[in-house]
Structure 1
Amino acid sequence: MFLFQILAIAVGFTSFATAFDPQLGFNSFVEVETRSLDEIYQAALKEGGTLTVWHGGDEKTQQNGLKTAFEARFPGMTLNITVDLSKYHDINVDQQIATDSVYVDSVILQTLHDFPRWKSQGALLPYKPSGYDNIYPAFKDVDAYHMGLFIIGWSNTFNTKFLNSSVPIEYTDFLKPEFKDKLVLTYPNDDDAVLYQFDLIMKQYGYGWFEALLVQNPRWVRGTATPATLVRSSNSTYAATFTSSIGLFPSSPLNISHPVEGQFVTWPQTGAILKNAPHPESAKLLHSFILSPEHQNATGSWSVRNDVAPPAGYPSIMEMPGTNPTKFSEWMMDRAAVERLRFFFETRIGSAQGLSPLIDDLPISFPDLTILAEKYGHPTGTGHEAISYQYPLKSGLTPLRNPPFDTYQESLDFLEEETYQRQRLSGSKHAIP
């Protein structure tokens, strides 16, 4: 018994020693960025020109656009960015911190509750990147240890080819007979932002809404990109979802809406630089670049900055009806409540089934042709030039039609159909139904 008491005291002292209270520092140790992007760029090159970033998401290629834009803007820099579910990234960050073996420079995650904890542990680097003062106050730590870098939000997403006048606006619209067997939704017990969406809906409409939703026989899937992928597919019977984010200006055949009476989830995807990051200047360059007006204007969504104009046809994120982007972080902080809600849904629909969305082999929604072709073994050129290629079918199947194609969309449809047929004939359970 005495030994256990000693161990408990030792653990207590260890925890106390690793805690960190920045209050009495009065921000004297916070670096305020005064350099231009090009000046930070030169400092980053002197570090070796490479940085490692862990980014929350559910498709490996989701941040290819950021990598391409960053490396094009700063020649000689290499952005090694790994996308995985934020709830898995944070555990691995914890292990690096605990073992004093940090090799990640920057983390950009959905798990907003992690950042105050890491700050209290002294694990983050305080830094005010260019544009920090223009970030909405609710999106940034007052001591500049972490801050929102861009906005993500769910929307009602539907395939216009499958719907006539039944455009879903409110969450009660999804209970209409025409959506029977045509909904595909992310497991709420597998993604906290989706869980929060269900929490908001059921607080408004009650448990009866969820019972009625189950009668609609929705397909439950892992990952928030998967529903939009299935809804978009010409081979799919699914017409709509409300657990995906495809931007505010989707391409045909998809379209979006937001509820007028109900609430939809938005939040600032939050980033921080680890205190022991091996490439701090490179991480500073990335964060300053992401917050730059040039990049904020290119995201196709709302900005975390109050001096960047909102997307055409929309008010600013703080004035957008039907959403409060500050509430998700508050909700995430109550981990006991989140856990109870997660298990509530698990008892109703079961645990999340299937492979991780990062390895399930479903083609991503709105794929770049180059990425999709390479993913499924088709040679391709770059960009839209690929439509002129005569694709040899490595699967050995006979295509439904022969390339080349008249439009970019036709080439996408061809690759998607070819992939589906290959998976179907091989017996893959992941083939799109």
Structure 2
Amino acid sequence: MSRFLTAALLLGQTFAYDTVLGFNSRPLVETRTIEEIYNAALKEGGTVTVWHGGDEKDQQDSLKSAFEERFPGMTLNITVDLSKYLDGEIDQQLYNNNVFVDSIILQTLQDFPRWQQEGALLNYAPVGFDKVYSAFKDSISASWYGYSIFFWSISWNTAKLPNIKNISSYSDLLKPEFKNKLVLTYPNDDDAVLFAFYQIMQQLGTKWFDDLLKQNPRWVRGTATPLTIVSGANYSQSATFTSFGGFNPGKNVNISFPNDAEFVTWPQTAAILKNAPHPESAKLFHNFLLSSDHQKTVPLSVRKDIDSSESPYRNIMNTPHTNPTTFAKFMSDRVTVERLRFYFENRLGSAQGLSPLIDDI
């Protein structure tokens, strides 16, 4: 396929990601100390219910432990499931006027401006909100904001690939030594992975994808699954670019970032539902998320005043070969998303296997 046709296939409309000012949008700006909010949360009952996007049930156990250790007597009930399923269930709660979740943290970034316009979110600015990059938040209503930058990197197992010293590009993965060695998430099953393929093919064309298929990659559901397989000694696959493992993904696993196309970064975004049953507990949780202490523990901070000390990319807004604001625009353009989804489904077939939350590989 020519590069002209590639552009026609891959280039969709560009949508602005500005939020329309909704009803009663003036936010409550938090002025209390964290201890005052903590005491209010304990008096409320000491429980906060959070739904977090992800594809393994235990992915946010460390967040639960950190919150409960910081605030004894508090209980964080956190449920992890695919964002594309959780957002529909939130819509059902809103439609039935039966909200039982306090806080939501999702990958479906297009939902937050819609919910804000519908008046479904609490307009509340935690301490530290003013330090969050403006591109990652609703600056007017303070109804939603990123709390951590997620990203896909190239990851490979050095024990399985002892002769590979570095992988500097997506084109490297087309070399003979990666034949039958790749494991990848279906792009038609996860919009962030879909965006990864979209960006690569904008730079390298559909021929890159044709050549990738000749490498006979293993296709799986879930973005945690590829890293599990790459890390496991019992699997032959040894490299992926559709998993998030942070900057220290585990024993024998190295990561790198490509120099021939953009890689995906985005702010995983959080909000409190306006009719949350535990509003003070939710406020405590969100103040914890944006606190300087917690932001220093995430791989890439959303706060412009905090360096991510473990990251080689301390300032995400000036990191080469990525733009953390573009995923939100992509997610808002559902016409392009659906068109691309069916393009890949036509090439790969529908995603096979159970949900990664119940599939043990």
Query: Match of 2:330?
Result: 331
Q: Does 1:359 align with 2:358?
A: yes
Q: Is the 8 A contact 2:158 2:164 kept in 1?
A: no
Distance 1:210 1:91, change over 3 A: same
Aligned to 1:402: none
Q: Please give the alpha-carbon distance, in whole angstroms, between the structure 2 residues aligned to 1:24 and 1:335.
A: 25
* Helix, strand or coil at the partner of 1:250: coil
Contact 1:310 1:317 in 2 (8 A): no
Task: Provide the rounded CA distance (Å) in 2 between the counterparts of 1:122 and 1:21.
Answer: 11
- What are the Cα deviations for residues 343-394 of structure 1, in whole angstroms up to 9, with x where unaligned? 1100000111101111112xxxxxxxxxxxxxxxxxxxxxxxxxxxxxxxxx
Residues 255-307 of structure 1: CA deviation (Å, up to 9, x unaligned): 100012321000000001001000011111111101111111112x1100011
Q: Distance in 2 between matches of 1:37 and 1:322?
A: 38
Counterpart selection for 2:143 from 142, 145, 154: 145
TM-score normalised by L of structure 1: 0.77
- The reply on whether 1:86 has 2:83 as its aligned counterpart is yes
Superposition deviation, residue 169 in structure 1: 1.6
SS of the aligned residue for 2:85 comes to: helix
Q: 1:155 Cα shift?
A: 0.2
1:306 aligns with 2:301: no
Instruction: After TM superposition, give the deviation of residue 249 of structure 1 in Å.
Output: 2.4
Matches within 5 A, 1:33-432: 33-142=30-139, 143-163=141-161, 164-165=163-164, 167-299=166-298, 301-312=299-310, 313-361=312-360, 430=361
Tell me if structure 2 keeps the 8 A contact 1:41–1:282: yes
Q: How much does 1:315 deviate?
A: 2.9
- Aligned partner letter, 2:123: P
Identity %: 61
Q: Which amino acid aligns with 1:118?
A: W
* Counterparts of 1:304 and 1:310, CA distance in 2: 9
CA RMSD of aligned residues (A): 1.4
For structure 2, list consecutive stretches of 5 or more residues without a partner in the other structure: 1-18
1: CA distance, partners of 2:164 / 2:102? 49
Using CA pairs under 8 Å that are at least 6 residues apart, name the structure with larger relative contact order, 1 or 2.
2
Show structure 1 runs of 4+ deviating over 3 A: 20-25
Q: Distance in 2 between matches of 1:110 and 1:320?
A: 21
CA contact (8 A) 1:201 1:263 kept: yes
What is the distance in 1 between the residues matched to 2:195 and 2:176? 26
How far apart, in 1, do the equivalents of 2:266 and 2:187 lie?
17
Corresponding letter in the other structure for 2:358: I
- In the superposition, the TM-score normalised over structure 2's length comes to 0.92
